[in-house]
Chain A
C-alpha cells in the first residue's frame, strides 16, 4: 500500500503580502447564470479566479469562497461530524488555499487541489483529536459514542431524508435506516479510510480525481477504496451484532 502524498503549498510559495480586505464586498459570482457550466467552462473560470487572486485582487477571494464553501464544508463535515468544527476546518482550509494559491500548478482541477488541502486539514485535526482522546480517560469512558457529537450527524441524516430526494414510503424508511447504520459505521473507521469513502462514495469523485487528491496511482486508489468498503461492511456487521442483544433486552 503506497503513501498518500498530499502536496500542499510550501511557505516559500505564499504571497509575500496579502492585501487588506477592508474594501472587499460581496460580489456576485463570475458566472451567475443558472445554467450549469461545462467542465471546461468551470475549469477556465477557476483558472481566471486563481489568476486574479495571484495578482492581489482581494475581491476574488470572496468569489472563491462562495463558489467552494459548500463543497469544502461538506468534506469537513463528513470527516469530523460536527458543524462548528467543520466550519473552523473549512475556514482554515480556505486560508491555506488562498495563501498557497501560488503553489497551484494547474495540473489538476482547482476543486481537486482544494479538496486535497482540505482533507489534509481534516486529517491533521482528527489525528490531534485522537491523541487527545487517547490521553483522556473521560473519552475512553465515553466508549462507542465517540466524541458525543453524533447528534449533529444524525440530525443531518434525518434532515436529508426529510428533504425528499429519495422515493417515499417503505423504501425511504429503509434507505434512511441504512444511511444511519452506514454513517454510524463510517465514523468508527480510521480517518484515512473514512476520507477515501467520503471522496469516492459521498462526493462521487472519479478514481482519477481521487488519485490526484491523494497523489497515488489509480490502482492504489481502487485498492484502498475496496479495503475501506470492506472495513465499513465489517463495522456495520459488528455494530449490528452489538446492538442485537440490546434490542432484545428492550423487547
Chain B
C-alpha cells in the first residue's frame, strides 16, 4: 500500500496518511459507503469529499469522451499510409537507428522530466560527438595536403627564376651568331634584373660549353624546318592538346616582344587565362622537336648535363664559383627539381625560346593566345600536330586544388602545350 502524505491537502489538524490505493478505489466508486465514511474519518480532512468529488467528475468527463467505444476515428487514408510505409521499409531496409533507439527507450516516470530532456539532448550530442574525431581528422588531413601542395608549389615557383631566368636571358640573346661568347651573354644580362646577373653569367658559360659541342650539329640538322607534321585548326588543336600531341610554334623575325610576353606569362594578371612556364622538361622538349633533329638531341643532352646544377660552374674552376651557384642546387626546392632543365635555353640555329603554355581547354582560350602571340611577337603562329604524345605532366598547383572557389565559367579543364619561339 502506498501512501500519499501530501494529498489530498487540507487544513485539518489530525491528519493521517491515506492510502493512495484506497483513494483511487474511492474515486473509481469501488468502495462501499461504509469504507468511504471510514476513510474520510481516518483522514481527518474536511474537504476530502469535495476533492474526491472533483476527481470523480474529471474522470467521468474523460470517460464520456467515448474513446473506448471508438469515438475517435482514424483518418480514412491511414490504412494506405501505413501499408505504403511498410512497403517502403521493406524496400529500403530497417528504419534508422535513431527511431530504434527511441523505441527501445523506456519512458521513466521516476526520472524528472527535465533530467530526461537533458539526457536526450546529451544523447544527440554524444551521437554527434562520436563523429567529430573522424571529421576533424579528415579536415586536418585535407588541410595538411592542401598546405603541402600550396607550399611545394610556392617553393618551386620561387626556385624557378634561379634556374630558368639565366637561360631565358641567353635564349633571348640570339646566340646564333655569337655561339656562346661570354660577351654576348653579358650584354644581354644588362636587360635583366641585377639579381640574376651572376647566374646568367654562369649559365651563359654553360651554354658556351654546350654550343661548342653541338652547334655544328644543330646547324646541319635543318631545325628551322620545324618539328611538326602539319598545321591544324583550332578544333583539331583542342583535341590534339587533350592527347598531348600539340605544339604551338611562333616564327618571328622580331623577338623584341618576347620579354614582355614572358613577363605576362609568368606573372599572369587577374583574369588572364594563360600562363607560361619556363621549366620545360627535356623529355617534353625532345618530343616537341623533330625526331631526326640533331639540334634537339644536342639540346637535350646539354640541358641534362648542365641544365640546372652548378656542376658546369664547378668544372670550370674556382674562378667561376659563387656562393649562389654552390648553394642553389643543394638547398631548397631547387635541389628537388635539378632534373628540370632550363628548357628555354636553346642554342640551336633558330629556336630562340621554349615554354610550357598552360591554358584552358577552350576554343576561346586558344584564340586568345594566338592573338596574343601574334600581337607580341609580330610573327606567324602555328598550331602544330606532333607525331607522338608529349609527356607533359601538369604541375600540381594549389590554385588547381581550389578550382571550386572560382566562378563556374572557369571550371574548364586546362592543358599544357609546348610553345616554341623561333626566329
Contact = CB atoms under 8 A, between A and B. Distances in A.
Given A2-B110, A24-B83, A96 B103 contact: yes
A219 B1 contact: yes
A134 to B, nearest CB: 7
Nearest to B82: A94
Contacts of A54: none
Interface in B92-139: 94-95, 99-100, 102-111, 113, 116-117, 120-121
Interface in B384-409: none
Contacts of B66: 160, 163, 165
Contacts of A91: 78, 81-82, 85
Contacts of A192: 107, 109, 113
A225 B24 contact: yes
Given A100-B103, A202-B63, 10 more contacts: A94-B82, A124-B103, A124-B107, A156-B72, A166-B64, A175-B61, A175-B64, A179-B65, A203-B68, A223-B4
A219 B64 contact: no
A150 interface: no
7 contacts: A1-B110, A6-B106, A18-B90, A69-B74, A77-B72, A233-B54, A233-B55
Contact of A182 (B21, B51, B58, B117): B58
Would you call the interface of chain A mostly helix, strand, loop, or mixed?
helix
A10 B67 CA distance: 30
Residue from A83, A98, A166 having most chain B Cβ neighbours under 10 A:
A98
Contacts of B81: 87, 91
A41 interface: no
Interface residues of A, number: 90
A224 B79 contact: no
Nearest to A131: B117
B23 A204 contact: no
A202 B105 contact: no
A106 interface: no
A24 to B, nearest CB: 6
A224 B110 CA distance: 10
Contacts, number: 216
A160 B65 contact: yes
Given A94-B86, A229-B59, A222 B73 contact: no
Would you call the interface of chain B mostly helix, strand, loop, or mixed?
helix
B113 A190 contact: yes
A123 B107 contact: yes
Contact of B120 (A128, A182, A215, A225): A128
Contact of A178 (B57, B74, B113): B57
B75 interface: yes
B8 interface: yes
Contact of A4 (B24, B74, B109): B109
B91 interface: yes
Nearest to A21: B87
A212 interface: no
Nearest to A177: B61
Nearest to B111: A3
Nearest to A186: B62
A18 B89 contact: yes
Nearest to A8: B103
B7 interface: yes
A69 B109 contact: no
A178 B108 contact: no
Contacts of A71: 70
Interface in A83-139: 83, 87, 90-92, 94-96, 98-100, 117, 119-121, 123-124, 127-128, 130-131, 134
Interface stretch (A43-51, A59-67, A140-148, A241-249): A59-67
A219 B108 contact: no
B4 to A, nearest CB: 7
B82 A95 contact: yes
A71 B74 CA distance: 8
Contacts of A87: 74-75, 78, 81
B45 to A, nearest CB: 14
Contact of A69 (B54, B57, B79, B107): B79
Interface in B25-67: 27, 51, 54-55, 57-67
B177 interface: no
A65 B82 contact: yes
Contacts of A38: none
